[in-house]
Chains A and B, each alone.
Chain A
Amino acid sequence: MKNIWPKRLLIGVPYLWLLLFFLIPFIIVFKISLSDIAISIPPYTPQFDISAGWAGIKEFFSALHFDNYSYLVDDALYYKSYLSSLQIALISTFFALLIGFPLAYGMARAPENWRALLLMLVILPFWTSFLIRVYAWIGILKTEGLLNQFLMWVGVIDSPLTILNTNTAVYIGIVYSYLPFIVLPIYSTLEKMDESLLEAAVDLGCTKTSAFWSVTVPLALPGIIAGCFLVFIPALGEFVIPSLLGGSETLMIGKTLWNEFFNNRDWPVASAVAIVLLLILVIPILIFQRMIERQQEASR
């Protein structure tokens, strides 16, 4: 109680981190989103000029406006990108859950001396670059790629399928890339589960299937929710996967943002797109945190 400074210092570190690497960049981006495009370096006006004194500051603030945001509403490209991103993120999360849950379940039910190895195998892809792994999918999915060659060799198809440069390829890429993020939290909840709970459920009249739905799934729910958010949130703003695997009809906000920044060099509109994306992401993140809090309360 006497000396609270060490404690304050300790709490201060993450706040300082947030200030330096989140809040200040955020304010800069937010400011740019309120500016006008200009052919200069940097490519926007007004610039903040402290030497002009009070009048300069006044002039600076009066030059800011929300026109870029209303432009986002006017041009269908942007809200279509947001909606399409939402759709791709939701569908990808669904398939990640569909594949990730059985995977996690199998791992948690595997003999104990196998589990460490299986866990390693799930994490192993992280040892190579994300970009390279996504790039490798081009080789697999393209018309004369491994997948088509294999399917034709087996005789399932006569002519190659067009997968690369479609939304399907984007789904495959996202599900593949983010699968460990959904497997790990589900695994950790299932692994903790006392197996006698399932025996108790069967003892009380459940079939194996109803025991799964009334005991296993509710108990794994915190892991399922955490895993879904961990896939959904990065998938929503994904840029690399749609630009490498997606086609011209693949509309994702990450890609639109990139085009705005680097092709059009319209930093103000790009910044507005980024701010809106952030606001869209804040909602699921807040829900996620609220869930974690409630869960911690429950397990106390």
Chain B
Amino acid sequence: MSASEASLQAGVPASVPASVAQNPKMKGIPVWERDDVTPIVEFRNVHKHFGDFTAVNDVSLKIYPGEFFALLGPSGCGKTTLLRMLAGFETPSSGSVFLDGQDILPVPPNKRPINMMFQSYALFPHLTVAQNIAFGLKRSNMEKGAIEERTHEMLRLVKMEQFSKRKPHQMSGGQRQRVALARSLAKNPKLLLLDEPLGALDAKLRESTQFELVNIQEKLGTSFIIVTHDQEEAMTVATRIGVMNHGVLAQVDTPADIYENPKSKFVADFIGDVNMIEGTINSAKAVTDETSLEFVSNAGVKMAARCYYDCKKGDKAWLAIRPEKIEVSKTKPEGATNIVSGIVDEIAYIGNLSTYYVRLPDGSRIKAQEVNRRRIVNRAISWEDKVWLSWTQSGGIILPN
């Protein structure tokens, strides 16, 4: 507490340890791949049961200083429970939680150097904007002048100076969101938790607010953990994403890896659009990192794709291919690794993109997407046309059954 207060007055973010800022050898290496940094948050084999229901199932996770970490998953997947454990509103049934290397489970929520921005914003309706922001500061041993200064600084940070005398009910949803952010950052926490912070905003405002959140986070250097069910939001703001399903951490990776190299059917399916082709593995896997693997679809078409897990010939598996990685053509392309043909079932023109749903001979449908770089006057491909779908070897990925 005293350390964070000292740095609060000096204006230095408390959450970034000197080692992160100063070690030149490690420059350019992402903080989560370095071995000289203490994680700001560590979950170790955490379980949480509510009666018969398992909300969190054996989660182990390390989050590093300065990260903007997103917990992503469908509702009821346990992501909010994990967040509330950090805030201190839930206690794990088993396992341990560390903050900056210290066990925080015995620390009550009001003594943790962690603040939370609530989904409902939870602004105090009887207090003005400035009083809301100063609320937490008044509970620390700060002097009156310093409280005023810090409140003003926070108002400036979220560009709400002229609203300081307003009550929450006199503001729009976007303005309330800013005040809630300012209030949760006022005490300069080591860690800020954001529970679906943009859920109540409309789409346009949400998008601009996402970038603003990232800017504020980069400016302060505080570690942020955001809980969201919106994959686009997670991809936009996060340094890394933890995808959760049924209380289990399905995958933790950077947004690009989550999208390009999903490790399971669930992750591939949950993030973005994907075609899943069921089939059998047809060649033994070499041990090298990125192996091209032969795969025979249930319809008997031979395909090749990347594969990152250990498998043997004859294993049942799925080939996942993103719609935008599939090329649609009326003539059979030369030299493509993966080719299937089918009949155009449906075309959806959505302005920037055209989506083709192609029915294969075995009855399954494949979705392919093309960017409309030029204005379409006469569409080359029409309904009921026979087309060829092709994609490269690296376009698809083979996932375990």
Residues of chain A touching chain B, judged by Cβ–Cβ distance below 8 Å, are 194, 196-197, 199-207, 210, 214-215, 218-219, 221, 298-300
Contact of B110 among A205, A215, A221, A299 (CB under 8 A): A205
Q: State how many angstroms separate the Cβ of A202 from the closest Cβ of chain B.
A: 5
B135 with A299: CB separation less than 8 A: no
Whole-angstrom CA separation of A215 from B135 in the bound complex: 11
Q: Is the CB of B139 within 8 A of A210?
A: yes
Output the nearest chain B residue to A199 by Cβ-Cβ distance.
B89
Residue among A200, A201, A210, A214 with most chain B CB within 10 A: A200
**Interface pair A203/B139, CB less than 8 Å apart:** no
* Bound CA–CA A298/B169 (angstroms): 8
The answer, among A205, A219, A221, A300, for a CB contact under 8 Å with B139, is: A205
Say yes or no: is B178 at the interface (Cβ < 8 Å to chain A): no
Q: A199-B109, A202-B109, A203-B136 are in contact. List 17 more A-B contacts (CB 8 A).
A: A196-B119, A196-B120, A197-B122, A197-B124, A199-B118, A200-B116, A200-B122, A200-B124, A202-B88, A202-B110, A203-B114, A203-B116, A204-B139, A205-B110, A205-B139, A210-B139, A298-B167
In whole angstroms, what is the CA distance A300 to B125 when docked? 12
A209 to chain B, nearest CB (A): 11
Residue contact B118 to A204, C-beta cutoff 8 Å: no
Give a binary string over B151-177; 1 marks a CB under 8 Å from any A CB, 0 the rest. 000000000000000010100000000
Of the residues B89, B120, B126, B136, contact of A204 by C-beta under 8 Å: B136
Q: How far is the CB of A291 from chain B (nearest CB, A)?
A: 14
Provide a sorted-by-A list of 29 A–B residue pairs whose CB atoms are within 8 angstroms: A194-B122, A196-B120, A196-B122, A199-B87, A199-B109, A199-B116, A200-B116, A200-B122, A201-B124, A202-B88, A203-B88, A203-B110, A203-B115, A203-B116, A204-B136, A204-B139, A204-B187, A205-B110, A205-B136, A205-B140, A206-B110, A210-B139, A214-B135, A219-B124, A219-B126, A221-B126, A298-B167, A298-B169, A299-B169
Q: Which B residues touch A201, using CB under 8 A?
A: 124, 135
Find chain A residues with CB under 8 A from B135 CB: 201, 204, 214
B139 to chain A: which residues have CB within 8 Å? 204-206, 210
Q: How far is the CA of A203 from the CA of B107 in the complex (A)?
A: 12
Set of chain B residues within 8 Å of A199, measured between Cβ atoms: 87, 89, 109, 116, 118, 122
Is B306 an interface position by the 8 A CB rule?
no
- Indicate whether A207 sits within 8 Å of B110 (C-beta atoms), given known contacts A199-B89, A201-B135: yes
Contact B118 A200 (CB under 8 A): yes
Let me know if B183 is at the binding interface, CB within 8 A: yes
Q: Contact: B120 with A203, CB < 8 Å?
A: no
Instruction: For B183, list chain A residues within 8 Å (CB).
Output: 204
* Shortest distance from the beta carbon of A51 to any chain B beta carbon, whole Å: 63
The CA-CA distance from A90 to B109 in the complex, in Å, is 40
Interface centre among A199, A203, A215 (most CB of B within 10 A): A203
Most chain B CB atoms below 10 A, which of A205, A206, A207, A299: A205
Of all chain B residues, the one with the shortest Cβ separation from A215 is B124
